[in-house]
Amino acid sequence: MASFSEIPQSMTTLFSLYASYTGVMMLLRSIINDLLPQSLQSYISNTFYYLFTPPPTTSTLTIDQYISNMSPNLVYDAAEIYLRTKISPQNEGLKVSRTTGQKSLSFSVKKGEQIHDSFDNIKLQWTLSSENDNNNYKEKLYFELTFPKKHKDTVMSSYLNYVIDQANEITERERAVKLYSRNLGGGGMWGCINLEHPVTFDKLAMDPEMKKMIVEDLDRFVKRKEFYKRVGKAWKRGYLLYGPPGTGKSSLIAAMANYLCFDIYDLDLATIRSNLELRRILLSTSNRSLLIIEDIDCNAEVLDRQNNSNGGTDTELTLSGILNFIDGLWSSCGDERIVVFTTNHKDRIDPALLRPGRMDVHINMSYCSFSGFKLLASNYLGIKDNHSLFGEIEGLIQRKEVTPAVVAEELMKSDDADVVLQGFVNFLKQKRVNEASEVLAVKKEVLVVKKGQTKKDFVTSSWD
């Protein structure tokens, strides 16, 4: 081992300088502590820290669960909902919950967990933290949002609004759709239940092209808020569903509500006494809803233009009051509304109601087609491929007027697909026999009345 005398002279000089520097610094610290006040010492320390510490490259926003008066912080609530969709396999500490009316389970992170997100190529990190609130003697939760400092303006002006918008959409998708009906025994106010109807467009026994058209029209409607505002129109759309009973009008309405997550308001015009009451009812409905007026043709006393064109007032329900409610000034008392009318007899509806702007889309709910039958067979019997009886059924169903409701009832008569389909074939054949018998009976009755005509004359003049 080398002795101290063998250490190079330069190293000895370095050690001496370090010792002298250390002694001087200790002397200065002692002088500063003895002579300078504490406030001045803090100022000098902070100045040196500011001069020799590099500036931070990240910013952090704190989002408290409650604001100063203990009101819920809507930004915190939105972040909590939004971040459920950003949970990754790396997040191990999770909480699970489900509230009344919620369709699915909700997952959220526990305290201390970090969730990573990106927005316009900006990397962001969310952390759920807490501290003791001494004023209320309970834990205070808050989110910390950390991001590159240079993107602070984008985060504050765009990203947080994006989080809020996404949270609103998630809430709409997850909430239970409500079915509202007026409680006549309780002052005519709306009462509601959850809409438990499970039908979707995939399960509707309708022409595929018709379903595609409806879905595209609904999608276009909900995305055109700025368009309606630009052209000066109320953000609403009117549908007319017409066709025989049992063709699926109510099922289509339920499918529309489930697809859009819109509540349904079932309005019976026969229970409304005046235009004033109609406006009050309209004002009590919410945005993003379907207002349903079924069997519009049955309100003949209201829709009779002759009776209502002269002297109609707010003390009675009139055609002009209904028109004003559909596309007049009162129609703009809400946004994102769809008004759906149904009827079994389109020809009985006043033409003033049928024009675009009132009933924009007319949908003919016709009898069951073979493609509709195959969809029902798939839903009710689980038949995904062709069956040996499908060819015969196709020939029969194209010549017979049978509603989807009737087909569905026939398909529910057994769990055995072969038995059900054979029974359906027999049903269609019997229906053809019965209809032929009815036609023959009508012909005989007419022949009895028209005794002066020969059978040949009757067939030519009455049935050609």
What is the spatial distance between Cα 365 and Cα 342, in angstroms, rounded to a whole number? 10
Tokens 């069951």 label which residue? 368
- Please report whether residue 463 resides in a domain: no
Edge-first strand order for the sheet with 361-364 is 189-194, 178-183, 263-267, 289-293, 337-343, 236-242, 361-364
Could you tell me if 150 and 37 lie in one domain?
A: no
Q: Compute the distance between CA of residue 384 and CA of residue 365 in angstroms, rounded to an integer.
A: 25
Kindly tell me if the per-residue pLDDT of 80 is higher than 60: yes
**Tokens standing for 150?**
């240079």
List all residues 6 or more positions away from 445 whose beta carbon is below 8 Å from its beta carbon: none
Q: Which domain holds residue 377?
A: 370-455
Task: Note the pLDDT of residue 42.
Answer: 73
Question: At 183, which CATH number?
Answer: 3.40.50.300
- pLDDT band of residue 464 (cuts 50, 70, 90) is very low
Decide if pLDDT at 246 tops 60: yes
Spell 353-375 as b/e; 16+ CB within 10 A means b. beeeebbbbebebbbbbeebbbb
Whether the Cβ atoms of residue 349 and residue 296 lie closer than 8 Å to each other: yes
* Rounded percentage of the chain residues whose pLDDT exceeds 90: 33
Q: Are residues 134 and 185 in the same domain?
A: no
Residue 462 is assigned to a structural domain of this protein: no
Give CA 216 to chain center in angstroms.
15
- Answer whether residue 152 is part of any domain: yes
Verify that 229 and 329 share a domain, yes or no. Answer: yes
**Number of compact structural domains in the chain:** 4
pLDDT band at 323 (very low <50, low <70, confident <90, very high): confident
Residue 351 and residue 207 share a domain? yes
Which helix (H) or strand (E) element contains residue 191? Answer: strand 189-194
Last residue of a domain, one of 136, 155, 174: 174
Query: Is 85 in contact with 170 (CB distance < 8 Å)?
Result: yes
211 and 360 share one domain:
yes
pLDDT at residue 254, rounded to an integer: 94
The whole-number average pLDDT for the span 31-60 is: 70
Tokens coding 226: 């700025």
Res. 184: pLDDT tops 70: no
């080398």: which residue's tokens?
2
Say whether pLDDT at 1 is over 70. Answer: no
Report CA torsion sign: 181, 186, 187, 191: negative
Write down the pLDDT at residue 331. 64
Which residue among 123, 155, 174 closes a domain? 174
Domain-embedded: residue 359: yes
350 shares its domain with 222: yes
Q: Is the pLDDT of residue 423 over 60?
A: yes
* Beta bridge pairs of residue 125: 116, 146
- Mean pLDDT along residues 410-427: 92
Structural domain includes residue 33: yes
Q: Which residue has the higher pLDDT, 123 or 308?
A: 123
Residue 95 shares a structural domain with residue 43: no
> Coil, strand or helix: which one is 146?
strand
The model's pTM is: 0.67
Answer whether residue 246 is part of any domain: yes
Tell me: do 126 and 213 sit in the same domain.
Answer: no
Q: What's the rounded mean pLDDT across residues 75-87?
A: 90
- Mean pLDDT computed over every residue of the chain: 80
User: Bigger pLDDT: 53 or 203?
Assistant: 203
Phi first, then psi: what are they for 409, rounded to 5°?
A: -65, -40
Specify the amino acid at residue 156: M
Cβ-proximal residues to 207 (8 Å cutoff; 6+ apart), any chain: 369, 371, 372
Q: Is residue 327 part of a domain?
A: yes
Q: Say if 460 falls within a structural domain.
A: no
pLDDT confidence band for 90 (50 / 70 / 90): confident
Pick the most confident of 37-46, 48-57, 343-352: 343-352
d(CA 391, CA 215): 30
* Element containing residue 324 per DSSP (H, E): helix 319-327
Greater model confidence, 301 or 331: 331
**H/E stretch holding 22:** helix 9-35
Query: Does the pLDDT value for residue 303 go beyond 60?
Result: no
Among the candidates 52, 69, 91, a domain finishes at 52
Is residue 182 domain-shared with residue 168, that is, in the same domain?
A: no
Using the predicted structure, report yes or no on whether residue 2 has a pLDDT greater than 60.
no
Q: Does residue 188 share a domain with residue 269? A: yes
Identity (one letter) of the amino acid at 262? F
The confidence score (pLDDT) of residue 48 equals 63
Taking the C-alpha atoms of residue 293 and residue 265, their distance in angstroms, rounded to an integer, is 9
State residue 69's pLDDT score.
Answer: 66
Same domain, 436 and 349: no
62, 124: one domain: yes
Q: Band of the pLDDT at 308, cuts 50, 70, 90?
A: very low
